[in-house]
Amino acid sequence: MGLVVTFISWCWPAILLMVIMKLWTIYNDSKMDQTSPLPLPRGSYGLPIIGETIAFVTQFLFDETRLQKYGNVFKTHVLGEPTIICMGPENVRKVLSGEHRVVTSSWPSAIKRLFGEGALSQSFGGIHRKRQKLVRKAFTHDALKSYVTPIRDLVRKHVTYWCDGENEVQAKSKLKSMLLEIACKVVLGLEYEKSDYSKIVETYETFSNGFFAPPINIPGSVFYKAMQARKTLHKYAQESMDRKTNDDRIDALQYIQSSIGENGEALSEEEIRESVIELMFSGHETTASACTSVVMLLARHPDVIGKIRDELDRYGMFEEDGYDVDLDDINRLQYVGQVMKEVLRLAPPTGGGFRKVLETFELEGCQIPKGWTIIYNISNTHRLSNHFDNISDFDPDRWHPDSMTKNQSFHYLPFGGGARSCVGKEFAKLLIKILIVEMARSCSWTVKQLYPRMSRLPVLNPVDGLPTSFKRYGKEKQGVCCQDGIALLKEENLRGI
């Protein structure tokens, strides 16, 4: 009898946990569309209440491990919602082709509140189309042409500083500082001293840290600090909006403020503030992620840098006193463009996009229930595409016009796709190309860890900040400074990249 009591006393917690887990599964499964004959995708809802949120936020290979276990479409419970995660070109095509009809934009609660209702990503239907059309005027060909010189000058200033400064720098941090200065000057038209930019960097860090935090707005919480940072960023935006109308500086904000639709509609001040802060996030956070990947991936492939330099030499971009180019000159650099595309294929900054399901639909024989959240995964969609050979190889030549024989829609979507693709993507491409040009023509660099451990939220980044040593490059030098033994590095050290 004593043994039975001991056995029960030890086992009842496990039995109770099993019962609770079963009830948690039944509760979530009950939210499926009972009118659909299709089953839910396979998957796990994780622990009661918190689901798999901790793993989703902290595990870099969260989607990859479940892809191997459940397939291209699986169910989970993250950020307080029963959720479907999908990947693969055909599945993503179905999701993004149903924009405004089958699915609509839906971000976690914290992101919604931080960006605000006036932001482009938080609008729907006709309001979204209006805002998108007006904001897009800041990224026309003529607008981009006006940004080339200030962007080039700022990038050159920072690259020179890296070469002449410390022996080793945190590349991620330096790139974020550079891109925030570009965002402040070229997007907002703000001019500050260096110390002020450091404060803005800290403010934006605090702001973005709240994206996947619990939306608890009480003093001391991560989300509360993010909301306070939001107020500061809005102050910067308003300061720029209130400047004199005879200001002769050219920036994206001016284009947006002067944008008038076909029927005379314009954005309100709140819409402008929140749209500009959203653009600054894209221009700073996501583009900094892409630029960090440029430094990392090119350090692994000195042969690619050699080809970039050959192209620059052909176009006279190695002049000692600098060079003066316009947008057309930058776009004429075909190989630089191929390098940019390959970086974004292997290391897209954002992991995917969030949508709310408006009508139940089908993916791979499973129901995607109305009312659920669905996330489409970008990086694994790139890897699952049959349009790319040797998917793990960094090969810019795959983007040569003679090799591009297939339609890349939904096979390649570093900026999202469909009706909600990134409105500032051409601006981001311009930034990345100019960075590639300035680095290749003026410096060599060594990355301490060529295959660092990576994190993916809020954007893709090396955990160690990518310690990098820069030095000046002379045209007479050959190749790029790089660590020895690259060939000995194994595929498992890639950690997804």
Residue 329 — φ and ψ, nearest 5°?
A: -65, -45
Burial label for 126, CB within 10 Å (0-12, 13-18, 19+), is exposed
What does the radius of gyration of the chain's CA atoms come to, in whole angstroms? 24
H-state helical runs in 98-250: 109-115, 125-135, 141-164, 171-182, 194-209, 222-241
How far lies 362's CA from each of 37, 101, 213, 295, in Å?
A: 11, 14, 31, 41
Residue 271's contacts (CB-CB under 8 Å, 6 or more residues apart) are: 118, 131
Question: Which structure tokens are listed for 124?
Answer: 């729907």
Report the alpha-carbon distance of residue 105 to residue 355 in Å, rounded.
Answer: 5
Distances (CA, A) of 354 to 32, 234, 375, 423, 472: 19, 25, 5, 17, 43
The reply, when asked if residue 11 is annotated as ligand binding, is no
Q: Can you give the length of the chain in residues?
A: 497
Backbone angles phi and psi of 461, in degrees to 5: -160, 150
Please state the three-class secondary structure of 310-342 as a single string: HHHHHCCCCCCCCCCCCHHHHHHCHHHHHHHHH
SS3 breakdown of the chain: % helix, strand, coil, rounded to 5?
A: 55, 10, 35
Structure-block tokens of residue 143: 């607008």
Runs of H (alpha helix) within 47-88: 53-58, 62-70
Strand partners, 436: none
Residue numbers in the known binding site are: 422
Residue numbers in the known binding site for heme are: 422
